[in-house]
């Protein structure tokens, strides 16, 4: 139970930190919130996977959330659309180890998507672990995630 409370407190702190970005002059939009929450989830899972206990999970939630919010803040809507389409197409058609690139010609934001392995999830659906990088104004960030194919053909990120 203490573990769940710690995660809840960490998530609340993350939301307050993201809200503070808006008050400090940065605009918090959907990308910031989505990136922050996605990063928080990935960070929490990483903290758990590394065996850090409640402290490791909480630290992972906060750090992942702040990093994810930064990427979400910096990617404009068109870049996010191009990136999402590339991830979906790559997961559906590319062989593991094959890197697909994307670029937004309007501002130079770019990235890559590389499926690492394919496996069946607990529900029997195909899942793919993949790595992606995003370069915004010369700053690169990388993230490894897992997505599973849904019955409607879409890919849903699991971590």
Per-residue model confidence (pLDDT) at position 158: 81
Going across the sheet that includes 110-120, the strands are: 100-103, 110-120, 126-136, 139-149, 155-157
Per-residue model confidence (pLDDT) at position 110: 96
Same domain, 130 and 109: yes
What would the two tokens of residue 32 be?
């910031």
Same domain, 68 and 112: no
Find the helix or strand (DSSP H, E) in which 107 lies.
Answer: none
Per-residue model confidence (pLDDT) at position 6: 41
In a domain, 35, yes or no: yes
Residue span of the structural domain in which 125 resides: 86-157
In a domain, 81, yes or no: no
Q: Domain total for the chain?
A: 2
Cα(42)–Cα(35) distance, integer angstroms: 10
In a domain, 59, yes or no: yes
Is the pTM higher than 0.75? The answer reads no
The model's pLDDT over 108-146, given as tens digits with 9 standing for 90+, comes to 999 999 999 999 999 899 999 999 999 998 899 999 999
Same domain, 93 and 68: no
In a domain, 18, yes or no: yes
In a domain, 100, yes or no: yes
């Amino acid at each position: 139970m203490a573990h769940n409370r710690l995660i809840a407190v960490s998530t609340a702190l993350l939301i307050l930190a993201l809200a503070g970005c808006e008050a400090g002059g940065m605009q918090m939009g959907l990308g910031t919130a989505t990136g922050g929450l996605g990063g928080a989830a990935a960070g929490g899972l990483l903290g758990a996977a590394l065996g850090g206990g409640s402290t490791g999970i909480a630290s992972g939630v906060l750090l992942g959330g702040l990093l994810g919010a930064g990427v979400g803040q910096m990617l404009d809507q068109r870049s996010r659309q191009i990136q999402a389409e590339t991830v979906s197409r790559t997961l559906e058609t590319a062989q593991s180890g094959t890197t697909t690139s994307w670029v937004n010609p309007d501002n130079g934001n770019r990235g890559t998507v590389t499926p690492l392995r394919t496996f069946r999830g607990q529900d029997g659906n195909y899942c793919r672990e993949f790595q992606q990088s995003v370069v915004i104004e010369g700053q690169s960030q990388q993230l490894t995630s897992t997505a599973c194919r849904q019955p409607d053909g879409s890919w849903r990120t699991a971590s």
